[in-house]
Amino acid sequence: MARKAEADALWSIVGYMLSGLIFWGGAGYLADKYIFHTEYLTLVGFLLGMGGALYLVWLRFGRE
């Protein structure tokens, strides 16, 4: 059972990080390319997504 809980946590964390990067990185990229024509929003999006994903991981697995 303990191993299964670990597998759950492991793949959930991977999933959250992927989603964070894809969604906010993608949003940043689109904003860069089509809306503001800047070059730094993709990076901001990636960082935002990663931060949000880590926060979610903490919310779900870090607090008791």
| Contacts with other proteins, residue ranges (CB under 8 A) | 1, 4, 7-8, 11-12, 14-16, 18-20, 22-24, 48-49, 51-53, 55-56, 59-60, 63
- For the chain, the farthest-separated pair of C-alpha atoms sits apart, in whole angstroms, at 51
Choose between 24 and 32: whose C-beta lies nearer to other proteins.
24
Residues 38 and 25: their CA atoms lie apart, in Å, by 14
Residue 47 CA to residue 21 CA, distance in Å, equals: 8
- Residue 37 or 63 having the CB closest to other proteins: 63
Least gap, CB of 16 to other proteins (angstroms) = 6
